[in-house]
Amino acid sequence: MINWNNMDTLEAFKELKETKKVNLREVMSGENGAKRASEYSVAMGGGLKYNYAAKAVDEDIIEVLKKFANEAQLVEKFEALYNGEVVNTGEKRLVLHQLTRGQLGQDVIADGVNKRDFYVGEQKKIADFANKVHSGEITNAKGEKFTTVVQIGIGGSDLGPRAIYIALENWAKKNNTFKMEAKFISNVDPDDASAVLKSIDVEKSLFILVSKSGTTLETLTNESFVKDALKNAGVDPAKHMVAVTSETSPLAKSDDYLAAFFMDDYIGGRYSSSSAVGGAVLSLAFGPEVFASFLKGAAEEDILAKNTDLLENPALLDALIGVYERNVLGYSDTAVLPYSQALSRFPAHLQQLDMESNGKSVNRFGGEINYQTGPVIFGEPGTNGQHSFYQLLHQGTTIVPLQFIAFRNSQIGQDVDIQGSTSQQKLCANVAAQIVAFACGKDDEDSNKSFAGGRPSSIIIGDDLNPESIGALLAHFENKVMFQGFAWNVNSFDQEGVQLGKVLAKNVLAHNTDGALKVYSDLLNI
């Protein structure tokens, strides 16, 4: 029997608030710091490790977090989710994105089909299609191979797939699995589609229209934009376009598309990178085997999320440390800082994943909650960020918990040795240095040069950024956000907060406005 109770009803939460705080600067100094850095580490999927030595926790706090996890039934709630209970209460839907990468529990039958079979079937359809495009069996009207794939989608149909594409582009080129360049059109700003279309040869481009409902304003508008461009180039749009949508959408059976690949209502946009939404573009760009490796890395991480032992469940541990920081220590932001240029857009994906999932003010039943929920997420790659906003992180009046990510090896492998070290070593030296600088600080006679320290961080470390490790990274954060949603007792799978703006925008376009809305419409010449 699962109890969905608000967090402040938990005995363990009350105990957590009363547990002695950790002086991070103290515990991370000297031999004790070395001991923590060695021991406070949990294995993740994809060959990664989650190290939390520089978080303001200790064994006493971890003990209480274990009680919290048990009392809040966090792993049982995950079990209910992957076994097909209606966990998305607001929209009365199952939540099945993990099923795209593996069968975690019992068979899930919905809409009369086994959903694992359904997702695997779509993966096979996509793989078959991608192989035919790569082999030249599917070509443009002139019989020429497609050289470019363009994803038309917004939000989850854009951010995750784009971040993963950028993460793997150089890896794929290096490993001879790069098949086609991918581009992305998302914004309703006409300059977005115009600029992308100017940068490609439309005659050799394949477009993927991604919209679950088939009704997303931006995406349908950009589809028309692209179809105009294709027609102007003398090309039949139906021969250059595939759809990723739900089987019930108007796009599903349309003759306007070369093929249609399906997702369903049980996978939210921000959780859809491992569904056909990511599958089509990534399989076309890098080949289906690369996408399969990505799923494998994600599956490894999902299996770890089933562990009831907090110290063998990295997503759960990361989640609960985050809850401690948000609700006991009172920190309201989290910075995601990958020391990898290839992860330049990964923070933007996590920003959506986290803020859209847990930026809620009512509980999963619409009832009141009396505590803070999801934090603000932002970030840029290191070392770039060091020369930008790190000043505030080190010496500002707001403490921001930090999530570092780093890899021992570069992707391309070209490097220079300057002053006795390679660029890759310099990159890694910087992230090591930052962890300690943030945690331990440094006193100085000149208070302007003093660092208070006590600024918590964790780091995820791997050998290489490759399909498996990016899969594991993606799933780790999906599962972390899910566990935090369970802890806060919110529904992490709906997004009612985006609706009001859509309704008002329609009113503006219909000139159905008054008051301030009319004035702003006039100011903007609508």
Query: What is the footprint of its own copies within residues 263-322 (CB under 8 A)?
Result: 269-270
Residues between 196 and 225 with contacts to its own copies, criterion CB under 8 A: 198, 217-218, 220-222, 224-225
Identify which of 81, 62, 24 has the alpha carbon closest to the alpha carbon of residue 320.
Answer: 62
- The beta strand positions in 162-204, using DSSP E, are 181-185
For the bound state, the minimum distance from the C-beta of residue 151 to its own copies, rounded and expressed in Å, comes to 13
Beta-sheet pairing, 113-114 with 109-110: antiparallel
By the 8 A CB rule, do 277 and 161 touch? yes
For the bound state, the minimum distance from the C-beta of residue 344 to its own copies, rounded and expressed in Å, comes to 9
Residues between 85 and 104 with contacts to its own copies, criterion CB under 8 A: 90
Provide the annotated active-site residues: 356, 387, 502
Could you tell me which stretch among 56-64, 104-112, 186-194, 245-253 binds its own copies (CB under 8 A)?
Answer: 186-194
- Count the alpha carbons within 13 Å of 307 in the hemisphere toward its beta carbon: 20
By CB under 8 A, tell whether 333 contacts its own copies.
yes
Tell me whether residue 69 or residue 465 sits nearer to its own copies (CB atom): 465
By CB under 8 A, tell whether 418 contacts its own copies.
yes
Could you tell me which stretch among 59-67, 181-189, 257-265, 313-321 binds its own copies (CB under 8 A)?
Answer: 181-189
> Can you tell me which of 18, 59, 234, 397 binds its own copies, judged by CB under 8 A?
397
For the bound state, the minimum distance from the C-beta of residue 118 to its own copies, rounded and expressed in Å, comes to 25
Residues between 457 and 476 with contacts to its own copies, criterion CB under 8 A: 459, 461
Task: State the number of binding residues for its own copies (CB under 8 A).
Answer: 159
By the 8 A CB rule, do 325 and 401 touch? yes
Q: How far apart are CA 510 and CA 506, in angstroms?
A: 6
Give the CA diameter of the chain.
74
Sorted by sequence, the CB contacts under 8 Å of residue 277 that are 6+ apart come out as 153, 156, 157, 160, 161, 210, 244, 263, 267, 269
Q: How far is CA 133 from CA 72, 161, 162, 199, in A?
A: 49, 19, 20, 21
By CB under 8 A, tell whether 348 contacts its own copies.
yes
Bridge partners for 150 per DSSP: 183, 207
Tell me whether residue 375 or residue 467 sits nearer to its own copies (CB atom): 375
For the bound state, the minimum distance from the C-beta of residue 131 to its own copies, rounded and expressed in Å, comes to 27
One-letter amino acid at 237 equals P
One-letter amino acid at 321 equals I
By CB under 8 A, tell whether 509 contacts its own copies.
yes
CA 119-125-130 angle, 5° bins? 125
Q: How far apart are CA 4 and CA 73, in angstroms?
A: 9
Q: How far apart are CA 103 and CA 97, in angstroms?
A: 11
Residue found under tokens 């035919």: 132
By CB under 8 A, tell whether 422 contacts its own copies.
yes
φ/ψ of residue 146, rounded to 5? -75, 135
For the bound state, the minimum distance from the C-beta of residue 330 to its own copies, rounded and expressed in Å, comes to 11
CA 258 vs. chain centroid, Å, equals: 29
The SS3 call for residue 485 is helix
> Can you tell me which of 189, 201, 236, 312 binds its own copies, judged by CB under 8 A?
189
By CB under 8 A, tell whether 452 contacts its own copies.
yes
Q: Return the sign of the alpha-carbon dihedral for residues 415, 344, 373, 97.
A: negative
Residues between 28 and 47 with contacts to its own copies, criterion CB under 8 A: 28-31, 33-34, 36-38
Tell me whether residue 103 or residue 430 sits nearer to its own copies (CB atom): 430
Tell me whether residue 17 or residue 442 sits nearer to its own copies (CB atom): 442
Give the DSSP per-residue string, 199-266.
Answer: TS-GGGEEEEEE-SSS--HHHHHHHHHHHHHHHHTT--GGGSEEEEEETTSTTTT-TT-SEEEEE-TT
By CB under 8 A, tell whether 72 contacts its own copies.
no
Q: Encoding tokens for residue 445?
A: 């006679």
By CB under 8 A, tell whether 388 contacts its own copies.
yes
By the 8 A CB rule, do 273 and 161 touch? yes
Q: How far is CA 367 from CA 5, 77, 361, 487, 490, in A?
A: 10, 19, 9, 15, 10
Could you tell me which stretch among 71-79, 107-115, 312-320, 340-348 binds its own copies (CB under 8 A)?
Answer: 340-348
For the bound state, the minimum distance from the C-beta of residue 239 to its own copies, rounded and expressed in Å, comes to 20
> Can you tell me which of 44, 87, 154, 310 binds its own copies, judged by CB under 8 A?
154
Residues between 108 and 147 with contacts to its own copies, criterion CB under 8 A: none
Tell me whether residue 255 or residue 499 sits nearer to its own copies (CB atom): 499
Bridge partners for 303 per DSSP: none
> Can you tell me which of 85, 192, 203, 247 binds its own copies, judged by CB under 8 A?
192
> Can you tell me which of 51, 148, 274, 469 binds its own copies, judged by CB under 8 A?
51
By CB under 8 A, tell whether 455 contacts its own copies.
no
Could you tell me which stretch among 107-115, 207-215, 296-304, 404-412 binds its own copies (CB under 8 A)?
Answer: 404-412
Show the site string, 355-374: x = touches its own copies by CB under 8 A, - = not: xxxxxxxx---xx-x-xxxx
For the bound state, the minimum distance from the C-beta of residue 106 to its own copies, rounded and expressed in Å, comes to 29
